[in-house]
Structure 1
Amino acid sequence: MMPSRPVKPANRTARPARRTLLSMLVASLMVGQVQAADLLTITRDALENNADLAATRADTSSVEAGRDVERGDLLPQVNASGQVAHNEQFESQTSSFGSTGGSGGGASDDRYNSASLTLEATQALYDAVNSAELEQAERQIDQQTYQLAATEQQVLIDVASAYFDILRAHEILEARRAQERAIGRQLEQAREQFDVGLIAITEVEEAQASYDQSRADRIAAESDLQVAFEALERLTGKRYDSIESLGDAMTVTPPEPAKRDAWVDLAMDNNPQVLAQQAGVEVSRSGVEVSKAQRLPVVEAFANYQYADSDNSTLEGEDSSAQVGVGVSMPLYTGGRTSAGIRQSTYALEASQYNFEAQRRDTVQQVRSLFTQVSNNVATVEARAQAIVSNQSALDATRAGYEVGTRNIVDVLNAEQSLYDAIADHADARYDYVINLLSLRQQSGTLDVAAIEEVNGWLDDSENVSFTLPEEGRYDQALDIGEPPQPDA
């Protein structure tokens, strides 16, 4: 029996190579199985990473901290101060009664050390200014809270708009690509027919012009798709290779409630911009109270303790004193500053009231317009779908007429252009409906994550939209908003 051959070292190195190849294959399969991002996932990314929203949250925390600053002025204030000094004193004064510099007359030079300590505590008993400023800080928190809600809703609508703009651009791009292919085939046929003398050169030129225009439309659509993807990345700080498309599950129905005034009532009660402006009126009203309080007295209780020590040869020893009492201060004349401040804050109140009214009117107009647009979008989507069917039939009839000689190539090209325009218009109508519906909810103050989740249910995960951006790394620095700043403890 022949001995078995020893395993060569080269074979031992082949196993890791096979494992590497297998791992690469598995990795490639896993990449291919990565699910596309849906609207709800991207919305959550934006709520977590959006820079504008993060800034508004920080502003809200700052305003809340401002309330504690104002409250601190009404709480006890305790201060301490101390001093340690080395003193040198020289005297050379004389009088007719004798020298002041010492028992022997003439000049004296004294060097000594001293120390002192002062403790003081005050408590406001009546301070109308600080009390009004605290009330104003409370109203500012209310206003900032509504501003935060408005920013959150703006992020939701921005993400949804950017998401569906991608899908819109993708559908239009598909239509333009199909249009370019169809007109390209028509151009080839025209050239072949011209070569055999069946048509004139003018028809070839017409087909060439239509093809060049379709190519330009396709290039513009590709640019729109890339721009749409990058707009979405700006909102979230993340890059998405693909997203889910809008499926046939979307229900195109009129807005509910079905009455325009009902949406207006919702907006007046819930729109955060309206509520923020209304809260701004109260902030300005508190500012008037702050200005008026400048005329009132301030009453505070105080207590202080003073201690001093010195090793002066002429006056050596310790000294201490303490006080407890109540102090009152009141401005009698400030050069007209207080009266001017009252007028200034009153005008600011008037301006805030006009701003509130302007915001209310703008919101009413926006809600009414969006309600009308959504209602019209319902009919438009159906009409655009029917237009595709009609234009397809017209194209088929025109092609049949061209084959028998009753239509020319220009008629065919125009019919093809009309068909693909109808396809693009139908895509526009569908996405206009979705975005306008979400915008109506935003203006009415009812746009939230639940509303986004409802729209997310219309997506189809079996068909994804992707776009290959430029090489990895070019946009990384621009999209990185960095770690949020950590406040000092």
Structure 2
Amino acid sequence: MLAVAAALGQPAAQAPAGVSASTFSTDLMQLYREARLEDPQVLASFAQAQAGKEHQREAMGALLPQLSLNAGSNRIHQENDLVQQSYDSESYSLVLRQYLYNKAAWENYQKFKSLARQSESQALDVQAEAAVELARRYFTALAAEDELELVRAERRTTQKSLDRVNALYEKQLALVTDQLDLKARVDLLAAQEVDARNQARISREALAEIVGRPVKEKLNRIRDDAQLRVSAQSLENWVREGIALNPALKASESGVEAAGAALRSGKGGHYPTVSLNLSAQETNEGYNNSLAPRTDSYVAGVGVQVPLYSGGSTSARVRGLYQDQLAAEQELEAIRRRVVKEITSAYLTANSNGEKIDANRLALDSAKLSRVAAEKALTYGMVNAVDVLASVRNEFRARRDLLKTQYEFLSNVFTLNRWAGKPPAESVDSVNNWLSPGSPSQAAGVGSDY
């Protein structure tokens, strides 16, 4: 594991032992570092990139000198009209072969060199996608815990209203329908709390799947003073950077290059090959396995092999490789279009989220004032329980909308950076600056007033 950590350029992350959610907290960057060492998809992509380099080295080996040593020992028995004899023969040879011209082998090496670059780019793309998925699950866990706290807070708020109505009902100043409406809402929220608690646990398990250990710590949350805005860079610049840097696009470009090299290698089957051959041989075996004096032979030569006809298989292979090249080119165009679409969508949505966050904050302030006013009015008999329930629901709906929009904004920032080709660590670090330790109740905006 330490070797993998060094290869990935990351320090080995130690999983905290015996931590408690009440004593320790973690942030997105810490989980990202752990996931890089534990996420099976990231580790598999790294292994595939290493395999691509070795395949490139294998293909290059066909262009280098080929040296072989042969040795043999035989027991030979010969009979004819004149003589009958048995003897032992030995032979040793050293053969060196070097291609001087082999178009098929050279283009095959170019293909695997492009495939190695493709594997590296694909590994970067997998790591970028893994960072986005980690962030998505991180914010899903935050949202699930926020929902649990919101349900609990709404239940406490509704219970206080029910207590007021009960007191008024004993004095015959409230209707039984108000009492029943509030009681029904409290019971419903109790049931919703059970479901919310289950979803919070499930979201933690989703994080554990990536990190490779149970995530029991508190998760750092969005700071109250965080200014959630996309950079001032224009959409055109984002698109231009994405086309230049996106690893999926680079991988597809390398795939097109590999397909072109494979096509040229196939055409190389029609070309002659020229090789230099050097050999040295020592043997005591002569013509027709006859015994001969020990002889040393040294041979140097140039061989030329010209393919004439292979049953049409070479031409058919070339036609197939040409179609493979066309398919790779179309895949490249499809990915290029997707990069433009994903960047445009994430950029516009993130900007919209930023504006919506401001509106949601204003809506929450208004809903909170409306709820406080309704509760006071209920005490004086100016409104009924239905009005109070509506104001409470509106306030907590506003809280949910604000939190949801904030998480959507951060998710869109990750998506934007991912398709623009930003390094995953840079994206995680930039978003992590907007986070700080905090409890779910604080993030949900519930405090002593409840």
Pick the TM interval, shorter chain: 0.7 to 0.9
The partner residue of 1:148 within 123, 135, 155 is 123
Q: Bigger CA drift: 204-213 or 285-294?
A: 204-213
Counterpart CA distance in 1 for 2:381 and 2:225 is 44
Aligned residue among 349, 355, 379 for 2:331: 355
User: What is the CA distance between 1:297 and its match in structure 2?
Assistant: 0.4
Q: 2:284 is matched with which residue: 305, 309, 313?
A: 309
Question: Does structure 1 retain, via aligned residues, the 8 Å contact 2:364–2:399?
Answer: yes
Matches of 2:243 and 2:191 in 1, distance apart?
47
Q: CA deviation at 1:163?
A: 2.3
Q: Does 1:262 align with 2:237?
A: yes
Is 164-173 or 49-58 further displaced after alignment? 164-173
Contact 1:366 1:443 in 2 (8 A): yes
Q: Name 2:189's counterpart in structure 1.
A: 214
Q: Secondary structure at the match of 2:308?
A: coil
Aligned to 1:371: 347
Seen in structure 2, the aligned counterparts of structure 1 residues 452 and 45 have a Cα distance that, compared at 3 Å, is same
Which sections of structure 1, spanning at least 5 residues, go unmatched? 1-27, 92-99, 467-489
Amino acid at match of 2:134: V
Partner of 1:473: none
After superposition, where does 1:172-211 map in structure 2 within 5 Å? 172-188=147-163, 202-211=177-186
Is the aligned partner of 1:336 residue 2:312?
Answer: yes
Match of 1:126 in 2: 101
Q: Hey, what's the Cα distance between the residues in 1 that align with 2:26 and 2:194?
A: 26
Match of 1:20 in 2: none
Post-superposition offset of 1:191: 5.7
Quote the Cα distance in structure 1 between the aligned partners of 2:277 and 2:397. Answer: 83
Residue 64 of structure 2 corresponds to: 75
RMSD: 2.9
Matches of 2:310 and 2:440 in 1, distance apart?
70
**Partner-residue secondary structure (3-state), 1:304:** strand
Could you tell me which residue of structure 2 aligns to residue 459 of structure 1?
435
Tell me the CA shift for residue 203 of structure 1: 4.0
* Residue of structure 2 equivalent to 1:85: 74
Q: Which 10-residue stretch deviates more, 346-355 or 430-439?
A: 430-439
Cα 1:408/1:393, change in 2 over 3 Å: same
Q: Say if 2:25 is the partner of 1:36.
A: yes
Please tell me whether Structure 1 or Structure 2 has the larger radius of gyration of its CA atoms. 1
Aligned to 1:248, the other structure's residue is in SS state: coil
1:431 maps to what in 2? 407
| Other structure's SS at 1:256 match | coil
Deviation at 1:397, TM superposition (A): 2.9
Corresponding residue number in structure 2 for 1:4: none
Residue in structure 2 matched with residue 470 of structure 1 by the alignment: none
Of 368, 381, 385, 2:357 maps to 381
Q: Percent identity?
A: 24
The CA deviation at 1:48 is 2.9
- 2:204 maps to 1:229: yes
Q: Which moved more, 1:367-376 or 1:136-145?
A: 136-145
Given that residues 249 and 332 in structure 2 are in contact (C-alpha distance below 8 angstroms), is that contact kept between their aligned partners in structure 1?
yes
Code of the residue aligned with 2:201 in structure 1: it is Q
- SS of 1:112 mapped into structure 2: strand
Other-structure match for 1:279:
254
Deviation, structure 1 residue 197: 6.0
- Inter-CA distance 193–163: structure 2 relative to 1 (3 Å threshold): same
Question: Contact 2:277/2:303 (CA < 8 Å) preserved in 1?
Answer: yes
Residue aligning to 2:13: none
Superposed CA deviations along residues 25-71 of structure 1, whole A, max 9, x for unmatched, are xxx99979964222222222222332211111111111111111111
TM-score by length of 2: 0.85
Q: Give 5+ residue unaligned stretches, structure 2.
A: 1-16, 442-450
Give the match for residue 14 of structure 2: none
Q: 1:117 to 1:296 in 2, by over 3 A?
A: same
Counting matched residue pairs gives 423
- 3-state secondary structure, aligned to 2:220: strand
Structure 2 CA distance for partners of 1:199 and 1:298, relative to 1, 3 Å: same
What secondary structure is seen at the aligned counterpart in 1 of 2:26?
coil
SS of the aligned residue for 1:294 comes to helix
Deviations 1:230-284 (A, max 9, x none): 2222222233332322222311224321x32222112111111122212211111
**Cα distance in 2 for residues equivalent to 1:214 and 1:358:** 48
CA distance in 1, matches of 2:97, 2:19: 70
Distance in 1, matches of 2:114 and 2:126, equals 19
Give the conservation status (yes or no) of the 8 Å contact 1:244–1:465: no
Identify if the C-alpha distance between structure 1 residues 208 and 112 changes in structure 2 by more than 3 Å, giving closer, same or farther.
Answer: farther
Q: Taking structure 1 as reference, are residues 256 and 228 closer, same or farther at Cα in structure 2, changes over 3 Å only?
A: farther
Cα shift readout 1:75-94 (whole Å, capped 9, x = no counterpart) = 111112222233455x5xxx
SS of match in other structure, 1:393 = helix
